[in-house]
Amino acid sequence: MPDRQDAVPRTKEYATGRVTRRAIIAEAAEAFAEKGFHGASLRGIAREAGVDHATLMHHFGNKTALLLAVIEWHDAQDAATSLPAMDFTVEGVVDAFVGVAERNRATPGLVQLLSTLSAEAGREGHPARAALQQRHQVLVDVFAAIIRLRRDEGAVDDDGLSPEVHAALIVSTWEGLQVYDALHPGDVDVPELLARTLRRELGLDGPLSG
Amino acid sequence: MPDRQDAVPRTKEYATGRVTRRAIIAEAAEAFAEKGFHGASLRGIAREAGVDHATLMHHFGNKTALLLAVIEWHDAQDAATSLPAMDFTVEGVVDAFVGVAERNRATPGLVQLLSTLSAEAGREGHPARAALQQRHQVLVDVFAAIIRLRRDEGAVDDDGLSPEVHAALIVSTWEGLQVYDALHPGDVDVPELLARTLRRELGLDGPLSG
DNA sequence: GTCTATAGCGAGATAGAC
DNA sequence: GTCTATCTCGCTATAGAC
């Protein structure tokens, strides 16, 4: 695998840096998913993208920020099509998120990277902390709203937990399942267990049997 | 903070290397919990322990192995007192593990490190993968045995999941809660939510009330 | 044999020149 | 916006001390 110096043609748009950024992100997505976060090197990614190591650093600042850019780019492809199409009903929300879990099976490398990042960002001052907190918060807000709705409908009974805490418990289970699945391949079926959890917690398995 | 070269006296036991190992582990535990896995440097830990960087490498091989040694050392202090005292009843198991979760609150740095390690080890070939798999398996075995017991007793109904998968779901929830807690401090009460989850899944909240 | 030290490689990250 | 130079780091290989 010698020089791919000219994989990105030096067009006018190239001079703006956008092509450079996108080329780096594309190479980084491949490298991270293939070799893992620590296994991939910024020098190698930069070389494959046809730029210098310091140029990559100029655009992204640090390795974690580059990984975040990769994840955002990956999310944008998924969310742009799936989430807007989600109707805000209990069944719609469950189907949408189970669908995300199912599509995640196609990119286990990125899921594992995201799990690692979530755990790493648990430390104050981590460069990705705010982004990961917001990422969780989006899920918690959706689930908490559904839980409130279902309690008002009488479909689930109030267990004494605030809807937000109950939602956090669901999100934690989902994330924990992804970690467990990566560590014990084949032992658990993440989309199925997520679906079971959601149906039970959101009262879709019959009147107050959950 | 200049040289602490002579923090460990050159006694006869020192020559066996055990004192050196323990001194390194003690410094590593402090450094990892304080600065995180990547923030702490082996050179710094070695310097604080009064040995050379290469000496540390000789004893532990790599940074991850040192972290594992720290965690094993931490576990040994906890497990040696709590788990043998656990009676193998449903209440006993729940109390024992909720107790572990409560004691974990005292060392959030190490818990966060372990969460990160679990996520990282989700990649094949990771140096700590086998150790983390076994660590999970111990928990799954205990919970699966209890679930079997409770099903035989008729205290919980068979939900169609194997006891092992159901146990894996519980372990995943616990681990996920620890990650969530580190990322959103104060939003969730890990021991309380673990206790709720265990009581519900193991049928301690009344006859088949789920 | 057991333990410790030296030297070097490639990595992430920073600073400054162009 | 890009590159050169430099820092410290994890890690390996190898040799020396007890």
pLDDT digits (tens, 9 = 90+) for B57-104: 999 999 999 999 999 988 887 776 766 667 789 999 999 999 999 999
Asked which of B18, B45, B61 is the last residue of a domain, the reply is B61
Q: Is B46 in the same domain as B76? A: no
Q: Is A161 in the same domain as A77? A: yes
For chain B, the domain total comes to 2
- Is A39 strand, coil or helix? coil
Q: pLDDT digit string (tens) for A4-24?
A: 333 344 444 444 567 889 999
- CATH number of the domain enclosing B166: 1.10.357.10
Which residue from A59, A148, A143, A183 is spatially nearest to B119, judged by alpha carbons? A183
Q: Is B164 in the same domain as B73? A: yes
Residue A180 has pLDDT above 90, yes or no: yes
Asked which of B61, B77, B97 is the last residue of a domain, the reply is B61
B-chain residues near A173 (CB < 8 A): 169, 172-173, 176
Q: Is B14 in the same domain as B29? A: yes
Q: Is A78 in the same domain as A179? A: yes
Q: pLDDT digit string (tens) for B30-59?
A: 999 999 999 999 999 999 999 999 999 999
Asked which of B21, B45, B61 is the last residue of a domain, the reply is B61
- CATH number of the domain enclosing B49: 1.10.10.60
Please state, in angstroms and as integers, the Cα–Cα distance from residue B16 to each residue in A104, B12, B49, B104, following that order.
50, 7, 16, 32
Those residues of chain B whose CB sits closer than 8 Å to some CB in chain A are 36, 112, 115-116, 118-123, 129, 132-133, 136, 159, 161, 164-165, 168-169, 171-177, 179-184, 187-188, 193, 196-197, 210
Q: pLDDT digit string (tens) for B130-159?
A: 999 999 999 999 999 999 999 999 999 999
Query: What is the pLDDT at residue A87?
Result: 79
Find out whether A27 and A49 touch, Cβ atoms under 8 Å. yes
Q: Is B21 in the same domain as B81? A: no
Q: Is B106 in the same domain as B48? A: no
Q: Is B117 in the same domain as B34? A: no
pTM of the predicted protein model:
0.89
Q: Is A5 in the same domain as A69? A: no
The boundaries of the domain holding residue B35 are 1-61
Q: Do A116 and B112 touch (CB under 8 A)?
A: no
Q: Is A17 in the same domain as A47? A: yes
Find out whether B147 and B167 touch, Cβ atoms under 8 Å. yes
Write out the two tokens for A62.
């640090």
Q: Is B148 in the same domain as B119? A: yes
Q: Is A103 in the same domain as A52? A: no
